[in-house]
């Protein structure tokens, strides 16, 4: 194990976990930790070579006892239903689903064949949907269980045939969360971040060429966000220990590692100048204005806004208000700024950028549109200054 995690041994004792695409890369690293944590893990994998390699590796690490490998092509509904029937007969109940399997097709939208689009649709969207339709009713009866969708960053050039359906998974997760919100079932999406797996390396080679840059230049641009597959896999596994907190959210492995104190990135204090502190105070004041405005909305509008905020920022408006208020108090006597604060402001910037786009199609009054657009643009600009602190 790359980390000392003895305190989590057997923390998932006898939980039955279906992990699709767990025969290699991040998935295999997560499977190893889940087994160490006491879970019974079903690895649904298409590649026979990966299955053989994974079995051998788990045996060497004395983790194979509770691992069960199932060879499957997730593009086939028949094979999925057959697998689920067998697993329910074998285990009685599936506690947790990790929708990790992917099928990647790259290139311009017009150059990816319809056959490839259809294959991506079946593996990257329909397979998780079919599994959810089968297990959610059983989870509702037991009032227990959960589904994790391994998400991606969203629409990106030359990756449409993959990203479109991974993005759809996020919306499926949000829908399932809303439909199970008053139960003990958890649903969330989990992004691994940029990890140099074999699949990612091959994809980045193609995408960087299309962008007109080298792979080295691509990695250099994204260096602060790169995780090892071991780190990302640890984030996958540990997320289950905070599943109730994460339910309904879009989180990343980095956030999970931060929450458990395992992130090896620089979480130390950063000294910032007085001008930057002034900008931070302006942003905090602006957020307070938004926060107080949300509180005055009618119940239906407020419910939508609060849920949307939590989904996109990863914490509730109340939690964000408290974090920003604590930061303001800290900055009155110190010029210290932490990595966690940068992460929060980055998420806030993305959230308000989304609000700006939504506003353009929602507000019909030209004067109100102009006024609120300018307000949001100024807020986004200031948050951007903070988010770029190095």
Q: What is the tens place of the pLDDT at every residue in 273-314?
A: 788 889 999 999 999 998 899 988 888 788 888 888 887 787
Which is higher by pLDDT, 335 or 290?
Answer: 290
Q: How far apart (Å, rounded) are the C-alpha atoms in residues 267 and 269? A: 7
Tell me the mean pLDDT in the region 59-80: 97
Per-residue pLDDT averaged across 239-263, rounded? 88
Domain boundaries of the chain, sorted by first residue: 10-260, 269-387
Highest mean pLDDT among 17-26, 274-283, 315-324: 17-26
Lowest mean pLDDT among 23-27, 116-120, 226-230: 226-230
Q: Which residues contact 134 (CB under 8 A, 6 or more apart)?
A: 81, 84
Predicted confidence band of residue 70 (pLDDT cuts 50, 70, 90): very high
Which CATH architecture group holds 10-260? 3-Layer(aba) Sandwich (3.40)
- Residue 147 contacts residue 132 (beta carbons within 8 Å): yes
Residue 383 has pLDDT above 80, yes or no: yes
Give SS3 for 129: helix
Q: How far apart are CA 136 and CA 20, in angstroms?
A: 17
267 has a pLDDT exceeding 90: no
Residues 315-323, mean pLDDT to the nearest whole number: 85
pLDDT at 266: 47
Q: How buried is 58 (Cβ within 10 angstroms: 0-12 exposed, 13-18 middle, 19+ buried)? A: buried
Model confidence at 390: pLDDT above 60: no
> Which phi-psi region, left, alpha or beta, contains residue 92 (left: φ > 0; alpha: ψ -120 to 50)?
left
Q: How far is residue 316's CA from residue 314's CA, in Å, rounded to a whole number?
A: 7
Please state, rounded to an integer, the average pLDDT across all residues of the chain.
Answer: 86
Cα 280 from chain centre: 27
Separation of alpha carbons 55 and 47, rounded Å: 12
Residue 157 scores a pLDDT above 80: no
pLDDT at 208: 60
* Spatial distance between the Cα atoms of 32 and 28, rounded to a whole number of angstroms: 6
* DSSP code per residue over 296-357: TS-HHHHHHHHHHHHHHHSS-HHHHHHHHHHHHHHHTT--EEEHHHHHHHHHHHHHHHHHHH
Q: What was the pLDDT predicted at 273?
A: 78
pLDDT at 339: 59
> In whole angstroms, how far apart are CA 329 and each of 344, 367, 382, 387?
17, 36, 19, 19
Average pLDDT, stretch 195-218? 60
Q: For 108-153, what is each residue's pLDDT tens digit?
A: 899 999 999 999 999 999 999 999 999 999 999 999 999 999 987 5
The answer to whether residue 65 scores a pLDDT higher than 50 is yes
Among residues 322, 331, 318, the alpha carbon closest in space to that of 282 is found at 331
pLDDT at 204 over 70: no
Please spell the DSSP secondary structure of 14-34, one letter per residue: T-EEEEET-SSHHHHHHHHHH
* Token reading at 17: 């976990």
Tell me which of 333 and 17 has the higher pLDDT. 17
Instruction: Examine the pLDDT at 335 and tell me if it is beyond 90.
Output: no
What average pLDDT score do residues 321-350 get? 80
């Amino acid at each position: 194990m790359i980390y000392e995690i003895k305190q989590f041994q057997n923390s998932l004792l006898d939980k039955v976990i279906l992990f699709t695409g767990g025969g290699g890369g991040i998935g295999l690293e997560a499977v190893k930790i889940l087994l160490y944590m006491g879970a019974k893990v079903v690895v649904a994998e298409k590649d026979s070579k990966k299955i053989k390699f994974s079995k051998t590796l788990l045996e060497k690490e004395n983790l194979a006892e509770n691992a069960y490998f199932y060879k499957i092509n997730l593009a086939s509904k028949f094979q999925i239903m057959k697998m689920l029937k067998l697993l329910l007969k074998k285990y009685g109940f599936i506690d947790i689903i990790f929708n990790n399997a992917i099928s990647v097709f790259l290139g311009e939208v017009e150059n990816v064949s319809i056959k490839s689009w259809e294959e991506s649709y079946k593996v990257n969207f329909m397979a998780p949907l079919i599994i959810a339709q089968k297990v959610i009713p059983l989870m509702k009866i037991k009032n227990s269980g959960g589904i994790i969708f391994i998400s991606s960053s969203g629409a990106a050039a030359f990756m449409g045939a993959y990203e479109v359906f991974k993005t759809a998974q996020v919306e499926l997760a949000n829908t399932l969360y809303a439909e199970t919100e008053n139960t003990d079932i958890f649903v969330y999406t989990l992004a691994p971040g940029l990890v140099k797996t074999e699949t990612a390396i091959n994809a980045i080679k193609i995408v960087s060429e299309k962008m007109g840059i080298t792979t080295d230049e691509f990695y250099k641009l994204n260096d602060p966000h790169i995780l090892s597959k071991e780190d990302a896999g640890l984030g996958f596994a540990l997320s289950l220990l905070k599943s109730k907190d994460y339910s309904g959210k879009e989180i990343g492995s980095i956030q999970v590692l931060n929450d458990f104190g395992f992130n090896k990135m620089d979480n130390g204090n950063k000294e910032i100048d007085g001008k930057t502190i002034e900008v931070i105070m302006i942003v905090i004041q602006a957020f307070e204005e938004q926060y107080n405005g949300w509180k005055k909305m009618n119940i239906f509008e407020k419910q939508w806004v609060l849920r949307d905020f939590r989904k996109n920022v990863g914490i509730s408006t109340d939690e964000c208000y408290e974090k920003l208020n604590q930061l303001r108090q800290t900055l009155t006597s110190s010029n210290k700024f932490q990595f966690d604060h940068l992460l929060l402001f980055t998420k806030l910037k993305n959230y308000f950028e989304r609000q700006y786009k939504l506003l353009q199609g929602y507000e019909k009054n030209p004067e109100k549109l102009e006024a609120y657009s300018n307000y949001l643009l100024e807020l986004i600009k200031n948050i951007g200054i903070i988010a770029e602190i190095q």
